[in-house]
Structure 1
Amino acid sequence: MSKPLMIFAAGLGTRMRPLTDLTPKPLIEVAGETLLDRALTLGRQAGAQPIVVNTHYLGAQVRAHLAGQDIAISDEAGALLDTGGGLRNALPLLGEGPVMTLNPDVVWTGANPLQELLEAWDGDRMDALLAVVSLGRATARKGGGDFSIDGEGRISRQGDFVYAGAQIIRPELLSTIPETVFSLNRLWDLLIAQGRCHAMVHQGGWCDVGSPDTIPLAETLLNG
């Protein structure tokens, strides 16, 4: 069964400068297609409905790019809310959880990660299911891993798996976080403590498109 999808497109793209001086990061092209359009394709292939995109930095360009498409906009023009605050702000548009979220600033090869997550989701055991890749397969990753995975598929902090930028998550506990601006890491920590945060290992290719020098790496991966 498909689920609502939130695509995070509000960030400042500071690591991608100077390309983002005049263009929002989600509209940067990789192999002739914008990062945002690549994310939207994954969502549509997975049957996501509704699809919500948040905007902040150069948001008018993102709005214009999406004009005429069946995409809802969660406007963060007043203040950038980070991933946790951004998801909570978009909940009236997303509807009932669980919801999928997707970072557009990565590229994938192999199976559609959102479809993989939908197939692996078990709401009886999970309140979050994160797509991860092994550190050795994380092209252009700067730094170490994020998580370890136990024999039951539950995650804990630190280890050799990298969060890949896609997940299914129940948003209910967002209401317990008092801050307006906060990362989804806050919600993950609550769910990890309850043993309700799980991982799905993506076996295809993955590249973090975080800075100009990573674009050729992403294009090589896609063309491989």
Structure 2
Amino acid sequence: MEKPARFPDVMLLAAGLGTRLRPITETIPKPLVPVAGIPLIERVIGTARAEGAKRFAANAHYRADQVLAHFGGLLKVNREDTLLGTGGGVKAALPMLHSDPFFVMNTDAFWPEGADTPLARMQAKRENEDQIVLLCVQPSRASGFSRSHDFCLDPFGRITLDYGAPVIYAGVALLGKNLFADTPDGEFSLNLLFERALDEENLLGVTLDAPWFHVGDAEGLAAAEKALSA
């Protein structure tokens, strides 16, 4: 009997300062900010676990001790002495990730646990190691997002800058370790990898079929809590 495929590891981006959520983040790190009683990072983990994720890693910088204490050793955490950015943070944590490809998930945005299964569709979409698959959301289903859109998604599921339906990057990416081979040491953004893939027509997208909440500031937090309590 064939052994079931291993669900990709999940890298949680949890090192941000959360300056737009002050004064809340003056006492706790942004990933631990509660939304309707549940910390942001736990909501993100819950959506991934609902689809079968079992192995998680995270980075931490601001109030890192609180992140480490929250998980009590049950989650691998790479402590950053200086902020490495989204790309540098993932690169530094690659030794903690055993699967290839793996998911990267922001910890300031989520959808209701079990409302959709986009991670499975993202895995099905990726066909080779040079491709990156992003989770996208239609602007009409997004809460707490100030821009009109990030890019467009064409009818074939390819991300473009100007052709297709306007979509927002929903903070989840599926990508391979090979893409980090020629990246800088230290701080850099995952946008570097996304832009390279876009130029090479290797940037793909899958649309979320659920409400999406971005908790980047106090208004976004209030909107998410109101929607979840309705």
TM-score, structure 2 normalization: 0.89
Q: Give the letter for the 2:61 counterpart.
A: H
| Cα displacement (A) at 1:143 | 1.5
Q: 2:137·2:167 contact (CA, 8 Å) conserved in 1? A: yes
Match of 1:88 among 69, 83, 91: 91
Match of 2:151 among 130, 147, 150: 147
Q: Give the letter for the 1:111 counterpart.
A: D
Q: Give the letter for the 1:61 counterpart.
A: Q
Identity of aligned residues (%): 34
Mapping 1:1-224, distance limit 5 Å: 1=5, 2-69=7-74, 71-76=75-80, 78-109=81-112, 110-118=115-123, 120-124=124-128, 127-157=131-161, 160-224=166-230
Q: 1:205·1:221 contact (CA, 8 Å) conserved in 2? A: no
SS in 1 for 2:135: strand
The 1:172/1:49 distance shift into structure 2, 3 A limit, reads farther
Give the alignment's Cα RMSD to 1 decimal: 1.8
SS in 1 for 2:82: coil
Q: 2:14·2:107 contact (CA, 8 Å) conserved in 1? A: yes
Q: Give the letter for the 1:183 counterpart.
A: S
Q: 2:88·2:188 contact (CA, 8 Å) conserved in 1? A: yes
| Cα displacement (A) at 1:125 | 8.4
Distance 1:128 1:143 in 2: 23
Q: 2:141·2:212 contact (CA, 8 Å) conserved in 1? A: yes
Q: 1:114·1:167 contact (CA, 8 Å) conserved in 2? A: no
Q: 2:14·2:59 contact (CA, 8 Å) conserved in 1? A: yes
| Cα displacement (A) at 1:79 | 1.0
The 1:169/1:125 distance shift into structure 2, 3 A limit, reads closer
Deviation sequence 1:51-85 (CA, Å, 0-9, x none): 1011100000000000042x111111x11111100
Q: 1:42·1:114 contact (CA, 8 Å) conserved in 2? A: no
Deviation sequence 1:13-59 (CA, Å, 0-9, x none): 01111110111001100011000111121222232242101110000
| Cα displacement (A) at 1:220 | 2.4
Q: 2:85·2:187 contact (CA, 8 Å) conserved in 1? A: yes
